Amino acid sequence: MGDSDSTHSETQLSIVVAVAENGVIGNQGELPWRLSGDLQRFKKLTMGHALIMGRKTYESIGRPLPGRVTIVLTRQKEYKSPHPQVLVARTLDEARGLVATTEMDHHEAFVVGGAEIYRLALPHAWRLYYTIVQASPTGDTHFPMIDFRAWQKLESTSYPRDEKNEHAVTWQVWQRLPYMTAR
């Protein structure tokens, strides 16, 4: 098991999230916006990697995303994988361990929601791919508060609203300061 353990410890958790100015990330199991550019960015970032998501997020997507392995994190003991390529974990540690069993890139796994999973993963994440949606939509799901003093901004690029993106956005990449990561 040593080989799996070393890969597990080398797997970095990254968070990918789009957050409105009011902290909203979802409404009734749906994204509260249409942002084609952000979905393209998500695909480019995550292709060839494992995605860790909560059961509700998985069910809202409804299928495994091509070119990636989906790991569903759930407390439901009876929950079974709806597709052979979808793995199920009961803890974040177990999910990280499952990344090592896949044929995907083991160095970075992406946490992609929902709010409870973000809250659980945030103390362990080393990178944050953070889209600021310049809007304040109604929503029932919010991203947890972040102390950005524990992070260093590596990139920030703004894009205007257009025919495929109903709101302007700012794409940011943050890296956790080395002494601020929980292991």
Q: Where are the domains of the chain?
A: 12-176
Interstrand relation of 12-20 and 108-111 (parallel, antiparallel or unpaired)? parallel
Give the pLDDT band (50/70/90) at residue 10: confident
Place of tokens 């797997």: 11
Name every residue whose Cβ is closer than 8 Å to that of residue 101 and which is 6 or more positions away in sequence: 4, 87
Angle between helices 92-99 and 2-10 (to 10 degrees): 110
Sign of CA dihedral 1, 126, 180, 140: negative
Q: Which fold has domain 12-176?
A: Dihydrofolate Reductase, subunit A (3.40.430)
- Mean of per-residue pLDDT scores for the chain: 91
CA 114 vs CA 86, 94, 95: distances in Å: 17, 18, 15
Q: For the chain, what percent of residues have pLDDT higher than 70?
A: 93
Quick one: pLDDT at residue 4?
Answer: 38
User: pLDDT tens digit string along 142-157?
Assistant: 999 999 999 999 999 9
pTM of the model: 0.90
Q: Supply the pLDDT for residue 181.
A: 55
Model confidence over 113-138: pLDDT tens digits? Answer: 999 999 999 999 999 999 999 999 99
**What gap in Å lies between CA 53 and CA 111, rounded to an integer?**
6
User: What pLDDT does 50 receive?
Assistant: 96
**pLDDT higher than threshold 60 for residue 61:** yes
